[in-house]
Amino acid sequence: MKLTAQSRIVVFTGAGVSADSGISTFRDSDGLWCNHRIEEVCTAEAMVYNRKGVIDFYNERRRELLTKEPNPAHLAIAKLEQYFDQVQVITQNVDDLHERAGSTHITHLHGELRKLRSSRDESATVPIEGWRQDYDTRHPDGSLLRPFIVFFGEGVPMLEQAIRITEQADIFIVVGTSLKVYPAASLLQYVRPEAQVFLVDPGNPDLSASRNIVFIKKRAAIGVPELVDQLLDALKTTD
């Protein structure tokens, strides 16, 4: 594999990249959607009919996040920026562990726990100090604030940007996603045929529809640092 410092690296992550930081995934046996009903905490309707329940759910996610740290997978992904000029992270995660690990070009497809937003304008965000959102705090535009999370059934405003980034990739690394949620999972279809795809996951993601993928059947905290070391070795042999 011919790699240079100008090779464009894109890393597409899901909940599995944060699992080794102690944050639950969604669909594993002890996942969040095994203990909470999506209809009650992650839809626009729930925001109307179960406002307190939704706010409590995301307050709990935020409170838990404050006790967690980036793991070796997040750190290895951030380390790529020391060797490659163009590293982009596209994440389905709403935690800030990629930021805290040091990655600097991050596209959040499903929102961010550490921000709230206007109920009127999906792009009008405000940062949240600490973990607690009060039930009736309002945005400066007068609307009630809500979590800055893309709920099921809502549009994914960052999708176009993510597609443009994906189409440029020379190396596309998928980490810790079941590839079950669209349109995020469709990103794989936008990877150029000549780009190399790697997938790090200890489980059995459905690769039937995919093209040549190097599948690394390991936990992210083990498999991602190993992959990054291989990429750096390939870079050295090319220089």
219 binds ligand APR (CB under 6 A): yes
* Catalytic-labelled residue, pool 74, 98, 108, 110: 110
* CA quadruple 234, 178, 182, 46: dihedral sign: negative
Which range of residues in 4-12, 23-31, 116-124, 157-165 is near ligand APR by CB under 6 A?
23-31
Length of the chain: 239
The tokens for 129 are: 């100090």
Residue 177 as a binder of ligand APR (CB under 6 A): the answer is yes
110 counts as catalytic: yes
Nearest-approach distance from CB 140 to ligand APR, in angstroms: 27
Q: Which is nearer to ligand APR, 180 or 236 (CB)?
A: 180
Work out whether 181 is an interface residue with ligand APR (CB under 6 A).
yes
Token pair listed for 203: 């489980």
Binding of residue 63 to ligand APR (CB under 6 A)? no
Q: State yes or no: residue 180 binds ligand APR (CB under 6 A).
A: yes
**Span near ligand APR by CB under 6 A; candidates 114-122, 155-163, 164-172, 199-207:** 199-207
Least distance between ligand APR and beta carbon 115 (Å): 15
User: Judged by CB under 6 A, does residue 147 bind ligand APR?
Assistant: no
Interface with ligand APR includes 178 (CB under 6 A)? yes
203 near ligand APR, judged by CB under 6 A:
yes
Q: What is the dihedral of CA 68, 94, 35, 222, to 10 degrees?
A: -50
Residue 119 binds ligand APR (CB under 6 A): no
Compute the C-alpha angle 17/23/29, nearest 5°.
Answer: 90
Residue 99 in contact with ligand APR, rule: CB under 6 A = no
Sole window of 26-34, 80-88, 186-194, 209-217 interacting with ligand APR (rule: CB under 6 A): 26-34
Where on the chain is the footprint of ligand APR (CB under 6 A)?
14-16, 19-20, 25-28, 31, 92, 110, 176-178, 180-181, 201-203, 205, 219-220
Which residues are tagged catalytic?
A: 110
